[in-house]
Every structure is written in structure tokens, then in C-alpha cells.
Amino acid sequence: MLNFFKHSYISQQVAVVLMALVLWMPAFITKSAFIPSEHTTPLYNTIISIFDFSPLLLNIIALVVFLFSVFFFNSVLSANRLVQKNNTIGAFVFVLMMCSSPELHSCYPFLFACPFILMAMHTLFLIYQTENPENYMMNIGYFIAIASLFYYPSIFLMLWVILSLLILGFREIRYLLIPITGFMLINVIFLGIVFLFGDINVLIDSYSHYFRNVNFHYDLNYINRILLIIFSILFLISLLRTFSNKASDKGNNIRKRLGVAMLLTIFAIIMFFINQPLMNNSLIFMMFAFFYAILLSDIKKTRLANIITIIMTLIIIFNQYLPLLDITL
């Protein structure tokens, strides 16, 4: 199974899309879509309000955005030499982990923020080798600002950007201020638009309401708990193997990229506890997929990994279709 995805031909790409369709099918069967509240993020609410006449259309849009994230995630890993080139391991693992819960096959805020966070990550990986990184740094600020208008906790990722620049060796104040300037510029423009054409008080209330509702209790069913435990164990194993192998074999560039990714994982774990429901906080699953894909790409003996991945795949498919049977575990 894993050897099949260690290539990148049409057959592998079709298989990834088919897997995504299988895991998203319950959303189309039930015609369910995440309905925003008054306190959901502004850009998300704007998009949903345009297409809210059709839950089916919303789910199609969500699936298209998801598939874009799937293959962009895979290209980020390949382009930055974190996995072997010309494989679809990253795409396959991303689909599995980002579709692990029935709550994750719908139209939700992080889904729209995910491509912009991936763009910020990819740009951070690139600037280490760039002679004139200023434009790239400004773009990072833009990406995080747009992501935060879809998914509020992305605001905290500006701290991730600053710390990542320090890891990458950009310690001058002017470098650190560039992404902050880009971030502020987008938000100032957005606030100006809201001030002129909307209700600024509603926006302020939305922000304050969101961050007042930090909740450390998650009402997860047993299968979601089992999957979260499995993902956490695989992440720890992947982390240890990745840092021991990549750091020694691939040089300083890879070590710094892994440091940036590890820092984002720490933020993802913190953000997991910000607000409900679980589907708003799936950055953690993206980062689990990041390190697990690196592990699977590197291992030579795939028998045990195949067994674990097949079992995990079957559990995820079962978990996705369980609500259709009206069964609660």
C-alpha cells in the first residue's frame, strides 16, 4: 500500500482523490454543511452567505478547497526535500488525518485558512536560500492575515513567524518587522472596509466572544479518542525518527525547516484548545500528517507501517460512516 504511494503518477493522484471522495461522501449524502453563527469569522461568513442557498454547493466548494490543500501540502514536502521526490505519501496521509472525524468533512473555517497557512510555511522554507528575502517576508504576513480572517486563532501564528525567522537566522529588527507590516496592512484595509460598509462593533464582539470561550473539555466519541491517541503516538515516533535521521543526513537547511515545522506543531497543540468545536482546530492533524508523511517516505521496510496504516484507514472510514447508521460510540 505505502509503496504504491511512493510514486507520483496519474494512478496515485486519482487514488488520493478517490480516497478523499470516499471520506467526504457522508457530507453529500446527508447534505450537511457547517452553518456559521454571528461570531464566526468574517471572511468565512461572507463566503457562506453567498452560497448558503445550497448545502450541496457549499460541500463541493469545501471539497475543492480541501483537494487543493491536499496536493499543495504534498508539493511543500517534496519541493523542500522533506520527503523523496515524486511521491504522494504526503497527500495520502493528509487526506487520512484531515478526514479522521465526521466533523471534518464539511465547510468549516480552518479549511479555508489551511491553504494560506501552507503558503506561509512554504515561504518560510524558501527564504532561507533567498538572497533578497524581504518580498517573501511581506507575503508571509499577508498569508497569515488572510488566514486569520477565516480562522481567528491564526493570529497567534504571527508569533510562530517571528520565532521561525529567528530560527532561520534573520535576527535583525527590520526583518522581523516586515511580516508584521504585511499582517497589519491587510487587517487595516479590512477594518477600513468594515468601518465604511459594515458594523465595527459586531466585528469586535465577534473577536471577544471567540476568545472568551476557551474550553479544555472536548466531547469526543470513543473512536475519535482512539484515533487521537494513535495519531499522537505516531507523531511522537515520527518526530524522534525524523530528527534523528534528517538532522544528521540532510544538513543545516533541513534541520532549520524541521525546527520551523516543530514550532508550528507546538502552536497547533495550543490552538487545539481554543474554542469549540473540534473541527475548528484541525491544524494539529495537519502537523501530525506532516511528520508521519516524512517517516513513511523514509522507511525501507514497510510491512508494519502498512498494517498500521491499513488499520487506521479502516477505522477512519468506519468513523466517517457511523453517523449514517445513527450509531453513537
pLDDT band at 215 (very low <50, low <70, confident <90, very high): low
CA distance 285 to 97: 6
Confidence of residue 88 (pLDDT cuts 50, 70, 90): very high
241-289 pLDDT per residue, tens = 888 775 555 566 888 899 999 999 999 988 887 755 665 678 999 999 9
- What whole-number distance in Å separates Cα of residue 45 and Cα of residue 35? 9
Whole-structure pTM value: 0.92
Whole-number Å distance between alpha carbons of 255 and 246: 7
Extract the C-alpha cell encoding 1: 500500500
pLDDT averaged over every residue in the chain? 85
Q: How far apart are CA 17 and CA 248, in angstroms?
A: 35
Q: Which residue has the higher pLDDT, 322 or 325?
A: 322
pLDDT at 217: 58
pLDDT band at 133 (very low <50, low <70, confident <90, very high): confident
Cell (9 digits) for 132: 533578497
Q: How far apart are CA 2 and CA 93, in angstroms?
A: 10
- Range picked from 30-39, 87-96, 238-247 for highest mean pLDDT: 87-96
The residue among 17 and 87 whose pLDDT is bigger is 17
Q: Tell me the CA end-to-end span of the chain in Å, nearest whole number.
A: 29
**Burial grade of 298 (CB within 10 A; 0-12, 13-18, 19 or more):** middle
d(C-alpha 212, C-alpha 224), whole Å = 26
| Whole-number Å distance between alpha carbons of 321 and 208 | 36
42 close to 203: Cβ distance less than 8 angstroms: yes
List the one residue out of 287, 296, 286, 315 whose CA is nearest residue 4.
Answer: 296
Which one has a higher pLDDT value, 322 or 113? 113
Q: What are phi and psi of 253, to 5 degrees?
A: -60, -50
How far is Cα 61 from Cα 33, in angstroms, rounded to an integer? 11
Whether the CA torsion 285, 288, 293, 299 is positive or negative: it is: negative
pLDDT at 107: 83
278 with 101: CB under 8 angstroms?
yes
Which residues does 243 contact at the CB level (< 8 Å), separation at least 6? Answer: 258
Q: What are the DSSP E strand ranges found in 51-200?
A: none
Q: What is the pLDDT of residue 76?
A: 94
| Contact status, residue 284 vs residue 100, Cβ threshold 8 Å | no
The answer to whether the Cα torsion of 263, 104, 116, 97 is positive or negative is positive
Considering only CA atoms, which of 233, 289, 310 is closest in space to residue 89? 289
Find the Cα–Cα–Cα–Cα dihedral 3, 90, 68, 31, rounded to 10°.
Answer: 80
Counting other chains too, the contacts that 29-33 makes at CB distance below 8 Å and 24 or more residues apart are: 29/324, 30/323, 30/324, 31/55, 31/56, 31/59, 32/59, 32/106, 33/58, 33/59, 33/62, 33/106, 33/107
C-alpha cell at 13: 493522484
pLDDT 10s digits, 155-204: 999 999 999 999 998 989 999 999 999 999 999 999 898 888 877 887 77
